[in-house]
Amino acid sequence: MNEDDKLVTKGIAAYHTRMKTARAILLYAQILEHLTQKKRYKDPNYTAAQLAVDLKTNTRYITTAVALHTGDNYSTLVNSMRLRDACRMLKSPRFRSYTVEEIGVMSGFANRQSFYIAFNKALGMTPRKFRVANIPEEERKLPRKRPEGTPHKTDKPKFLGDSEIRPKLAVKAAAKTAKSKKANSVPQKG
């Protein structure tokens, strides 16, 4: 094995330098294909260990291939894919009715906090600021419309109106009163 067959990089763990260049390129292409075509990056519980099992390799090779091609780790690669989707949705008029948190979950983040941290780290602003900055000026002045039947946080739960409840309650109360009067009345002997 000659030096051209190995990736030799200073400052990287020893097992990173043992992987052949051709193997690292092939594995990285398989990683990208598996994550993107099957949308595995949208699953917040999909780990490098599960990816290694799916690709019939081990996690060290996954880590090495990603590190050698991106300079980052597996989590950063997956988060970059999630952030790409989140940015697309935050810009799109089609997703205006969704909250920022809902978009984060749809992109594959496990919770609001991990979404905000990754977004701020990568783009230097919160997802909300990004959304506002990418809404055209004429749309900013228009009220947001929610899809038909989607409740809003200020909507009150739908209950039967007083006009529908009161007559039913009055009938029940009258029946209950009549029963109690019958039970309390003592028959008089004559």
What is the overall mean pLDDT for the chain?
Answer: 79
Instruction: Return d(Cα 71, Cα 85) in angstroms, integer.
Output: 21
Identify the CATH number of the domain in which residue 106 sits: 1.10.10.60
Task: Assess if residue 184 is contained within a domain.
Answer: no
110 in the same domain as 52: no
Q: Largest Cα–Cα distance of the chain, in whole Å?
A: 123
C-alpha distances out from residue 163 to 2, 72, 160, 174, 177, Å: 88, 64, 8, 17, 22
- Identify whether 188 is part of a domain: no
Residue 112 lies in a domain: yes
For residues 34 and 82, membership in a common domain is answered with: no
Q: What is the per-residue pLDDT across 42-67, written as a single tens digit (0 to 9) for each?
A: 999 999 999 999 999 999 999 999 99
Q: Tell me: pLDDT of 2 over 70.
A: no
Label residue 63 exposed, middle or buried (CB < 10 Å: 0-12, 13-18, 19+).
middle
Whether residue 119 is contained in a domain is answered as yes
Q: pTM for this structure? A: 0.64
Q: Count up the domains in the chain and report the number.
A: 2
User: Is residue 101 located within the same domain as residue 50?
Assistant: no
- From the CB of residue 105, how many other CB atoms can be counted at a distance below 10 Å? 17
Tell me what pLDDT residue 160 has.
45
Angle between helices 74-91 and 100-107 (to 10 degrees): 140
Q: What is the pLDDT of residue 161?
A: 46
Residues 1 and 67 in one domain: yes
Confirm whether 167 is domain-assigned.
no
- pLDDT, tens only, 96-144: 999 999 999 999 999 999 999 999 999 999 999 999 998 877 666 655 5
Residues 58 and 19 placed together within one structural domain of the fold: yes
The pLDDT value given to residue 137: 75
Residues 101 and 63 in one domain: no
- Give the end-to-end CA distance of the chain in Å, rounded to a whole number: 121
Residue-range definition of the domain harbouring residue 85: 75-150
Position 13 in a domain: yes
Report d(CA 181, CA 63) in Å as an integer. 81
- Tell me the C-alpha to C-alpha distance, in Å, between residue 38 and each of 34, 41, 46, 61, 182: 6, 8, 12, 20, 72
Q: Mean pLDDT throughout 157-166?
A: 48
If asked whether residues 48 and 92 sit together in one domain, one would say no
Whether residue 47 sits in one domain with residue 111: no
Residues 130 and 116 sit within 8 Å (Cβ to Cβ): no
* Residue 157, in any domain of the structure: no
Residues 6+ apart with CB under 8 A from 169: none
pLDDT of residue 23: 85
Percent above pLDDT 90 for the chain:
51
